Amino acid sequence: METTLRGVGVSHGVAIGEVRHMGTAVLEPPAKQIPAGEAEREQGRARQAVEAVAADLIARGNLAGGEAQAVLEAQAMMAQDPELIADVERRIAVGSSAERGVYDAFASYRELLAGAGDYLAGRVADLDDVRNRIVARLLGVPMPGVPDSDEPYVLVARDLAPADTALLDPSLVLGFVTEEGGPTSHSAILARALGVPAVVALAGATELSEGASVAVDGSTGEVFVEPGAERRAQLEQVAAERRAVLGSATGPGATSDGHKVPLLANVGGPADVAAAVEAGAEGVGLFRTEFLFLDDSKQAPSREKQVEAYRQVFEAFPEGRVVVRVLDAGADKPLDFLTPADEPNPALGVRGLRSLLDHPEVLRTQLAALSDAAEGLPVYLEVMAPMVADRTDAKAFADACREAGLRAKFGAMVEIPSAALRARSILQEVEFLSLGTNDLAQYTFAADRQVGAVSRLQDPWHPALLDLVALAAESAGAEGKSCGVCGEAASDPLLACVLTGLGVTSLSMGAASIPYVRSALAQHTLAQCERAAAAARATDSAAEAREAAQAVLTGEAQR
């Protein structure tokens, strides 16, 4: 009998297939004591396993590129954490085997993270994955992960480790469903990059029977268990209609009455450029530069290395707009040479621009490298700072750009509510704003973007968040300056129409979402988008806001 479950749709499309579960976690190794004479050998085994796992994570990242590369390199750094390794060796020295020493050391660190507040607690899944990989290597057993299958399937898991998600084969994995995670979790972001339909935060997902037939709608968040023939036909028709509409919309982003809304791509490095160009991106709205800095947590990359990487992206968009975010280190992206090691709450500490202002030589080198990379190219370069809180921050960044001789527009990201509330003041110092809706939601609602339990408050449809977007956009309009959105909110076609109605001037997203957003905008006028935005803001919840906007746009389209 058909049943319907509902989670959070995070990647568009429909997938129909049989359930395959992720492998189970590594079993706890036995707590046996080793002779004192074997301690050195066991410590060597542990170090070799750690280095092998770190190397494997980095290799997987190199293969995947982009967002996945940055995530996996951060995991490799976690595996090689000097304090963790020292703890492992101490445990082995008093009689633990290598695998037991690793297991217990990670368990201790896990407790610290779990009790350190939501932001760090959200990293527990990544830590568990690193532990499992090291222990599996020491035990000589296969690493649990994506199941082996010759037939396409729908992957179901409690959560997906970045190392597994990064290398999913879209020809075999039709879609995936997770019990945990949120709309801006690593799994969700990587699913959109892969173009795989996905639903997260689905209660009871892991209780689905192996081999059960399911239909996953990554747009609505619905999962139909044992769908009947009528449901299958309905979903297949919906998928066909979506494909037809996608194919009919081409060219630059614009509403049906010609109001231009440039559609840009979020990229994590040169590896993401091909997909962005193929999707028809009009430029880059968010060039995350962290991927370069995660290669070596001990020191910043050289100016020459940065120039080479930046230039590859600039050359892909001749005469196009490329918006570069300077290094956003801290919180879940710590760097030994930049990030304080003893912050009680890194998400609210020295992160982003704050780190760079504390280490001006790192900022100077990056700005100089960006200037060198753009030299002689017709690219329209714009450079923005992350985590700008007020006008003082904006001025400090603009001054640094000018001192570096950078020929570009200087901008500020709006990720902190104070920046939205005081946007007009900030715009006295910079030339554009870019709304990072992922972090703006996180800080507005005090809801960690990696924690599925608070996913209700991570929803970019929440009217409070829409109010902040509107405030920033209105301020930019009053100053005659631009205000784009580069957070994951821009990848939702319906929400893209609402953002346009709020006054947002450009939208940047993962390449796979661009055709969907282009198609949605092309079906509505600017006035219709404005009416949908007003209807959404007049509600009191994210669900009501979406329904109100949908009703307006559907009604307008039928007239």
Alpha carbon 483 to chain centroid distance?
A: 21
Q: Is 186 a catalytic residue?
A: yes
| Cα gap 194→170, rounded to integer Å | 7
Pairwise CA distance, residues 103 & 439, whole Å:
33
Which of 401, 483, 486, 529 is the catalytic position?
486
Catalytic residue among 186, 359, 462, 524: 186
User: What is the rounded end-to-end Cα distance, in angstroms, of the chain?
Assistant: 38
Q: What is the CA radius of gyration of the chain?
A: 24
Q: What are phi and psi of 276, to 5 degrees?
A: -65, -45
Q: How far is CA 140 from CA 45, 105, 135, 259, in A?
A: 12, 20, 8, 60
The token pair that represents 166 in the structure block: 């990064």
Enumerate helices (H) and strands (E) in the chain, giving the number of each: 23, 16
Residue 410 — left, alpha, or beta (φ > 0 → left; ψ -120 to 50 → alpha)? beta
493 close to 516: Cβ distance less than 8 angstroms: yes
Nearest to 437 by CA among 427, 447, 429, 428: 447
> What are the DSSP calls for 132-180, one per residue?
HHHHHHHHT-PPP-SPP-SS-EEEEES---HHHHTT--TTTEEEEEESS
Contacts of 510 (CB under 8 A, 6+ apart): 189, 192, 193, 265, 266, 491
Cross-strand partners of 16? 215
**Interior angle at CA 486, CA 156 and CA 398, nearest 5:** 140
The set of catalytic residues is: 186, 486
